[in-house]
Amino acid sequence: MAKTPITLKVNGKPVDGLVEPRTLLIHFLREQLNLTGPHIGCDTSHCGACTVDLNGKSVKSCTMFAVQANGADVLTIEGMAAPDGTLHALQEGFREMHGLQCGYCTPGMIMRGYRLLKENPNPSEDEIRFGISGNLCRCTGYQNIVKAIQYAAAKLAGAPVKEAAE
């Protein structure tokens, strides 16, 4: 199948790619760029394991063609830690609050949390629950994910972080 050239920015770096028109963004990221943080969990846009940030929005990268990302600015889990390796507040929060178990939903969940906190830096518990309802987790029961996002919200706001995981 004929391939189309695309140019985009991924985790702050310019990237060129050559993709079939039908190549999904998730496959482009995982297989051509070796960014295997975003995962595939359902193929139907329900689970959110493939969530990345694209032009300031949370996007399920299994439901977007790579060609549609031409010119876009994409942030994946691999771009979350600081260049010196310091974890982002969300990454730290997920570990501190035991917000993950098998780790499969975690990259998508953190990327969704990232955009959620940009949109609403001080969300209530209900707002967090609603805000991550496009991302499924089979292990944690969400309670500690909510706490992880609260932890990150507090940390990003410079407030003292409270309460360890149960």
Partner 1 sequence: MNDMTPSQAERAEKLQGMGCKRKRVEDIRFVQGKGNYVDDLKLPGMLYGDFTRSPYGHARIKKIDATKAKAVPGVLAVLTAADLKPLSLHYMPTLAGDVAAVLAEEKVLYQNQEVAFVIAEDRYAAADAAELVEVEYEALPVLVDPFKAMAPDAPVLREDIKDKTDGAHGKRKHYNHIFAWEIGDKEATDQAFKKAEVTIKELISYQRVHPCPLETCQCVASFDKIRGELTLWGTFQAPHVIRTVASLISKIPEHKIHVIAPDIGGGFGNKVGAYPGYICAVVASIVTGRPVKWVEDRIENLSTTSFARDYHMTTEIAATKDGKVTGLRVHVLADHGAFDACADPSKWPAGFFNIVTGSYDFPVAHCAVDGVYTNKAPGGVAYRCSFRVTEAAYCIERAMDILAQKLGMDPAELRMKNLVRKEQFPYQSALGWEYDSGDYHAAMQKAMDTVGYQKLRAEQKAKQESFRRGETRELMGIGVIFFTEIVGAGPSRNCDILGIAMFDSAEIRIHPTGAVIARMGTKSQGQGHETTYAQIIATELGLPADDITIEEGNTDTAPYGLGTYGSRSTPTAGAATAMAARKIKAKAQMIAADLLEVSEYDLEWDVDRFRVKGNPERFKTMKELAWAAYNRVPKGLEPGLEAVNYYDPPNMTYPFGAYICVVDVDVDTGVTKVRRFYALDDCGTRINPMIIEGQIHGGLTEAFGIAMGQEIRYDEVGNVTGPSFMDYFMPTAVETPKWETDWTTTPSPHHPIGAKGVGESPNVGGVPCFANAVNDAFKFLGSTHIPMPHDHWRTWMAADKLGLHG
Interface of this chain with partner 1, residues 28 to 67, rule: CB under 8 A: 30-31, 34-44, 46-47, 49
Interface with partner 1 includes 155 (CB under 8 A)? Answer: no
CB atoms within 10 A of CB 97: 24
How many residues touch partner 1 under the rule CB under 8 A: the total is 62
Return d(Cα 132, Cα 72) in angstroms, integer: 23
| Segment interacting with partner 1 (CB under 8 A) among 53-61, 114-122, 132-140, 154-162 | 132-140
**Residue found under tokens 């070796």:** 34
Collect all residues with Cβ–Cβ distance below 8 Å to 139 and sequence separation of at least 6: 100, 101, 102, 105
The Cα angle at residue 43 between residues 63 and 80, in degrees rounded to 5: 65
Minimum distance, C-beta of residue 7 to partner 1, in the bound complex (Å): 22
Return d(Cα 134, Cα 114) in angstroms, integer: 14
Binding mask 64-103 for partner 1 (x = CB under 8 A): ------------xxx-xx-----x---xx-xxx-x-xxxx
User: Which of 118, 146, 119, 151 has the alpha carbon at shortest distance from 133?
Assistant: 146
Interacting residue with partner 1 among 25, 67, 128, 153 (CB under 8 A): 128
Residues that bind partner 1 (CB under 8 A): 20, 22-23, 27, 30-31, 34-44, 46-47, 49, 76-78, 80-81, 87, 91-92, 94-96, 98, 100-107, 110, 128-130, 132-146, 164-166
